[in-house]
Structure 1
């Protein structure tokens, strides 16, 4: 084990330690060792099940996304730590999570982190009705559709209509 591995890496089996070391080498830094002051933390970017999300630029084209993910089935359990190394074009280079499935390079917590980021990007790129002037006001109405007289409207229930149709079919045969 090298000096730059965290206490977390010491808890892994030898095979998982080797894989984790490869992931850390791709990042250039162990995401679990990043300090909060090294990362950007904007609460408005990260609503929902994510806790303490942050992003750290590690090179001109790569970032580390790091967060704690709450358990959806058990609110009393401690959240798991998840991170993903991503290129600026959206390609995921490596990801890891401290959950049971995290050593397999893919788990729902990492997927939640990535979905979370995707949703944030989509919302940021969308235009809301208040982004442009008067878009929420209705257009001026020039023509009204003529509705039938109330006496001509059919207020029969669907059950009654079905019964009437069955009766007609049975009576005609």
Structure 2
């Protein structure tokens, strides 16, 4: 870790970092404390428990919330601790201060062979409270990161397992120094992605249990329950006792207007002889029919007369009552253009 870490910070970051040191009464930056002053002895660690760790991580700005802490095993920080990314935790006690400082190197989870991060935490030894913490990763100085959380998870686990109450010559020192030294690449087929306990549970589970054959009574109960639904599934149409609701019903006849006379026009009529045109008219009159239903629909659609476009379309080419007299009694000196 850089000895001049504090000096390399910006003015605002230096002020926030200095406030952490003031809260600890440390007197100096933990990154400037000589390596020989740090002690590898879990029995000197403060007794902090899970509520103390959770309270600090939740109350400190960062990625940790009440919901995420309820399922701590899914957190990246807890995975870093369980995977052995947290190296040896070392202890330092500042002079005339009620606090102590714990530090450890944490291997980056995405770049396991790169330079580790260097988080530290300051704890009040009597009150067992996390007073301040810091890491040299990219997280803002005022927020907690996964590396600080991983360090706290390791300390909490040591307290829970009783390693902080045993002599340093026993298991605690060995446990504290048990971490991943170097990650070696390996082929995919030789990597174990699941714990043995998980694979054992799956292998013991009867995945291909033979289902029992339903009785006639059970089948009837199932069909009756489906038939009572507000929207019956179409599969019921395959069963004789439930197929009646799916029988075909005649649909209402679609109402339509008779053919507009203007649609009978063809540009080729202009070149026909009178005889040819007369034959064409006779053929059209033979095929042109209007049903009673169409007449009723015309009356329904044209009740508003001039306010309705259909009224004008149906009048085109037809002699209506209002025009019958002018058709039968035209003025020979000034005949109608349409006639």
TM-score, normalised via structure 2 length = 0.36
The answer on 1:86 being equivalent to 2:123 is: yes
- In the other structure, the counterpart of 1:14 is 11
Are the equivalent residues in 2 in contact too, given 1:96–1:103 (CA < 8 A)? yes
Are the equivalent residues in 1 in contact too, given 2:41–2:91 (CA < 8 A)? no
Give the alignment of 1:14-163 within 5 angstroms: 14-26=11-23, 27-42=26-41, 48-58=84-94, 59=96, 61-88=98-125, 89-124=127-162, 159-160=209-210, 162-163=211-212
Cα displacement (A) at 1:24: 2.0
Alignment length, in residue pairs? 138
Are the equivalent residues in 2 in contact too, given 1:95–1:105 (CA < 8 A)? no
More RCO (CA 8 Å, sep 6+) = 2
| Structure 2 CA distance for partners of 1:20 and 1:166, relative to 1, 3 Å | farther
Are the equivalent residues in 2 in contact too, given 1:86–1:92 (CA < 8 A)? yes
Q: 1:117-146, CA deviations, whole angstroms, 9 ceiling, x for partnerless residues?
A: 0001101179xxxxxxxxxxxxxxxxxxxx
Higher-Rg structure is: 2
Separation in structure 2 between the aligned mates of residue 169 and residue 122 of structure 1, nearest angstrom:
54
| Structure 2 CA distance for partners of 1:53 and 1:163, relative to 1, 3 Å | same
Cα displacement (A) at 1:64: 0.2
Separation in structure 2 between the aligned mates of residue 77 and residue 122 of structure 1, nearest angstrom:
31
TM-score, normalised via structure 1 length = 0.66
Structure 1 unmatched runs, 5+: 1-5, 127-156
Q: 1:3-53, CA deviations, whole angstroms, 9 ceiling, x for partnerless residues?
A: xxx51122222110111111222323311112222121149x999222242
Separation in structure 1 between the aligned mates of residue 119 and residue 144 of structure 2, nearest angstrom:
11
Q: 1:80-103, CA deviations, whole angstroms, 9 ceiling, x for partnerless residues?
A: 111111012321111110001151
Are the equivalent residues in 1 in contact too, given 2:4–2:32 (CA < 8 A)? no
Separation in structure 1 between the aligned mates of residue 21 and residue 152 of structure 2, nearest angstrom:
19
Are the equivalent residues in 1 in contact too, given 2:106–2:147 (CA < 8 A)? yes
Deviates more, 1:91-100 or 1:163-172: 163-172
Cα displacement (A) at 1:75: 0.8
Cα displacement (A) at 1:115: 0.9
Are the equivalent residues in 2 in contact too, given 1:96–1:102 (CA < 8 A)? no
**Aligned residues: CA RMSD:** 3.3
| Structure 2 CA distance for partners of 1:8 and 1:50, relative to 1, 3 Å | same
* Off by >6 Å, runs of 4+ in structure 1: none
Cα displacement (A) at 1:171: 6.1
Structure that is richer in strand per residue: 1
- In the other structure, the counterpart of 2:50 is none
